[in-house]
Structure formats: C-alpha cells, structure tokens
Structure 1
Amino acid sequence: MFIKSAALYDAIYSWKNYADETEKIHALIQKHKGSPGNALLDVGCGTGAHITHLKKFYTAEGLDLDDQLLEVARQRHPGITFHYGDMAGFNLNRTYDVIVSLFSAIGYVKTVARLNQTLHTLARHLAPGGVILIEPWFTPDVFKVGTPHATIINEPDLKIARMNVSQIEGNVSILDFHYLVATAQGVEYFTEHHELGMFTREEFAFAFQQANLKMIYDEQGVDGRGLYVGTKP
C-alpha cells in the first residue's frame, strides 16, 4: 500500500494521461452497457485521478483499501462519495451500472482465491445489463525478474527518485520501492513494500465465469496492459 508515498502519488504518475484513458473507457462502456443508469464505482480508485474525468459522464463513487490515498481523493473531490473497503469482500448494499478497476489495482488481491472472491463481489454490486472493466497487472510469462526500474521527478519544489528491482515469489510480483524525496523541508529516504498477484487469462476467464459474467478480453486496453470487459445478463 502507498502508506508513505500517498502525497507523492500524483507527482510520480504525472506522466499518465487520465483524460485520454477515460475517453477510451467511456467508449467501451457505451459499447457494452445495457443498463439504463449511469452510476459508476471505481474500485481501487486511489487518489481519484480517473474520477476527475469519469464524473463528466457518470455519477461516480470510489472505493479503496488505502486510507492515505482516499484522503487525497476526498480532498480532490469533496462532493463525491469514497468508500473504504476491500475489493474482495465489500458490501455497499446497492448496485451500479458500471464498475471499473483500473491501473492494475486488481493485482493487490494477490491470490487466485481472492480474485474469484473479488469477481463475485463486483458481480453482486452490478446492475443487470451493467458492465465491468478490469485492467490487469502483468501475467507471469511477461514479468521480468531482476529488472531495475527508476522514476525521476524534477519539479522546482519537489525532487523524487524512486527505484526498485523487480522480484517474484511464486506468482506474486514483489516491488520494494526505495524513495529519495527532497522538498523545502529537507531530504527524506524511505521504502515501501508492494505485492501484486499475476494472473493468467485463463484464471481471469474462470473468475468471470464463476461470477456469472460474460467476458471478452481487449488485448490493448487503455494503456497497453489489456482490459477485461464483463457484462451481466
């Protein structure tokens, strides 16, 4: 979880074109959605960056298990409801016409058993004719162990260097991020540990099937990571 870096999240991912992604997401939703409403839930919403654009088309809400990211999201969108919850087992006592889980947030469920639980939970919150969009994390066959990664932010009042070397345990990718952050208050160093499960297409297909959802796979998706599109009869 982004316990220590939540305040830096948007700076670190400032390269990401949320507006362009949302246009693609909206087009896919309109293509596949059969329900008449426009209620949307962003699961694993993070700081609410996608909701900034999704709220132009839908009555949007967010859900996340990271309190620090939710705090940023609530400050950004004071009029929008954000829920604290685990995507594998939340209960909001209502349904939505659209449920999205983007930027590989699904990887944080880690195990196949929790992936199946998550799809059941999402399906329970989906209205008949509704659509689910899930952007996956890497599959086990393409994740490269021992690869060094670096993100550098060089703004006038903020300098960030984030580095890690990709590791793996079973089908779980291990990301131990090392941060060096400079602000007017000084220089800080800290680490964060992230674990994301890597699921095959077959495992996703089974999870959708067990949740009684029809599923198609979009190879490209919105950002080159692929996209699972599920619909509820």
Structure 2
Amino acid sequence: MTTVDSRTRDDNVYGEDVSEIYDLLYQRRGKDYAQEAAVVAGLIRDHAPHAATLLDVACGTGEHLRSLRTMFEHVEGVELSDAMRERARAKLPGVAVHPGDIRDFDLGRSFDAVCSLYGTVGYMAGTEELDAAIGSMARHVAPGGVLIVEPWYFRDGFADGHIGHDVVRDEHRVVARVARSVRAGDTVEVRAHYLVGDGDGVRHFEHVQVMSLFSREEYAAAFRRAGLDVTCLEETGDMLAGRSLFLGVRR
C-alpha cells in the first residue's frame, strides 16, 4: 500500500463541537473504558511484569487513563486535539497530558509500556505515515517494554456504505448521530451528522473523518520495522467482539 493523501496535522478532526459530546456519546453507547484498560494492563503484565510506567498516545479525553493511572505507578498521555486534551487534563490532575502528533512526537524519555487505543492509527494516510506513527511510539518504549496498538478496520473486514446511528441522552442533553461510511480504494470517508438538543435549543454540525484500511501484515510490518517483535491478538479478552490488538515487545 502506498502513501495517499497527506492529511492536515491539526485538531480539526476533534474540535470543540465533537469533543464536547464525545464522552456522553461513547459511554452511553456502552464503551467500557475501565474494562478495556484492564485488558491492556493484563497484557502488559503478561509480557513485561516489571512495567511501572505507561504512556497513552492519542489519549482523547483521558477515559482509559483514568483507570490506567490506578494500575501503574506513573502514567502520561499525548493528545493532538486542544479540545480533547483540555478535557483529559481536567479529569487527571497531576498527570501530564502532552500536546503531540502520533507521527512525530518526542517526549525525550521512555516508558515500560506505550499504548494507542480505539483505532487512532486508522487516520494515517498510507503505510509511510503508519510507519512514522508506530516508529514514534516504539522510540518511547524502554528495553523489555511493550507497545499495544488497537487498529482500525482491516482491509478485508470493512462494510462499505455502512450507516450507523445513535441517540443518547443525559439529564441536560440529547444527542442524535447518523453516519455513513464510503470507501474509495483503501480510503474511507466517515461523514457524520449530529443534532444536539439542550437548554439553549437544537444545533447541528457535521463531523468528517478520513481513514485508511490496512492489512494485518501492513500493521505487523510497521512494528517489525520499528524493531519490535509483534503479535496480532484477535478479539482480545473482554474487548468488544471483533476488536483486535497488536502487541510489540522491545527485546
């Protein structure tokens, strides 16, 4: 797979509109961040029992880190979006959440474990950017440490034209989302429309994501090029059905 369109490195994918309702949407859809963090921590313990420090890359609003900070002595996060990073910092007093792009961040230190969850690597525009992202994360893995990455959909498992929909609510808001995914080659545009109703009225906004479909071998090859021994774990533990993880170990 060759490099396709170069995608702008800013926080437009997760600006204020979508960041403000992100937690409500995914928590009310049933995403169990605590359980997912426990699965990740268990895998880390299996492969690096000594692990005491962890970095969560593209940590979003910090929901996984809220649990991971109770499982490791020291945790930090990296997040590109200003709006998402602000929310993570508010939830995680005392935890450093750094600005940074998954493709080229450099914190100047290493960690016993590094993770990137919920398909962030799917935003990479081709294998060169995938290599850059895996390489950047791998450079932060200490010898004997672990890198865990949750991929987006694989090339052979994507349903073109899928229409997703959700209606969620809390005591203050109702959020309706309808999204359609359209594939062109190995690139997918996910175009979502949101209606948010609250005490100020009803507003609409559109959220467009451009994602890439990679094969299992392309993910694995990126790990190997970064100097890691890699395993693809399909439908891992108590993660949601159909979800996979790539686990790399720095010998």
Q: TM-score range by the shorter chain?
A: over 0.9
Q: TM-score of the superposition, structure 2-length normalised?
A: 0.89
Aligned twin of 1:227: 245
Residue 14 of structure 2: aligned partner: 2
2:53 aligned to which of 39, 45, 51: 39
Q: Secondary structure in 2 aligned to 1:137?
A: coil
Matches within 5 A, 1:120-135: 120-135=135-150
Superposed displacement of residue 192, structure 1: 1.1
Distance in 2 of aligned mates of 1:184 and 1:51:
31
Determine the C-alpha separation between the residues in 1 that align with 2:79 and 2:213.
20
> 1:54-99 CA deviation, whole Å, 9 max, x = no partner?
0001111111111111011011112110011111111111001100
Contact 2:53/2:113 (8 A) holds in 1? yes
**1:49 maps to which residue?**
63
Shift of 1:145: 1.2
Alpha-carbon shift at residue 147 of structure 1 (Å): 1.5
Q: In the TM superposition, what is the alpha-carbon distance from 1:33 to its structure 2 partner?
A: 1.2
Q: Which runs of 4+ in 1 moved over 4 A?
A: none
* CA shift for structure 1 position 196: 1.6
Distance 1:47 1:172 in 2: 26
Per the alignment, residue 23 of structure 1 pairs with 38
Structure-2 separation of matches of 1:83 and 1:181: 30
Name the counterpart of 1:136.
151
CA distance, structure 2, for counterparts of residue 142 and residue 12 of structure 1: 24
**Do residues 78 (structure 1) and 90 (structure 2) align?**
no
Displacement after TM superposition at 1:172 (Å): 1.8
Residue aligned with 2:87, SS: helix
Check the 8 A contact 1:107/1:196 in 2, yes or no: yes
| Residues 228, 248 of structure 2: 8 Å contact kept | yes
3-state SS of the aligned residue for 1:12? Answer: helix
CA contact (8 A) 2:24 2:170 kept: no
Structure 1 residue 37 displacement after superposition: 4.4
Please point out which of 24, 33, 36 is paired with 1:11.
Answer: 24
User: How far apart are 1:143 and its partner, in Å?
Assistant: 1.1
CA shift for structure 1 position 38: 1.1
1:1-233, aligned counterparts within 5 Å?
Answer: 1-3=13-15, 4-14=17-27, 15-33=30-48, 36-58=50-72, 59-221=74-236, 222-224=239-241, 225-233=243-251
Contact 1:110–1:198 under 8 Å retained in 2: no
Question: CA–CA distance in 1 between the matches of 2:193 and 2:51?
Answer: 44
Counterpart CA distance in 2 for 1:50 and 1:110 is 25
Task: Give structure 1 stretches of 5+ with no counterpart.
Answer: none
Q: Distance in 2 between matches of 1:169 and 1:85?
A: 29
What's the RMSD between the two structures over aligned residues?
1.2
Report the 3-state secondary structure (helix = DSSP H, G, I; strand = E; otherwise coil) of the residue aligned with 1:141.
helix
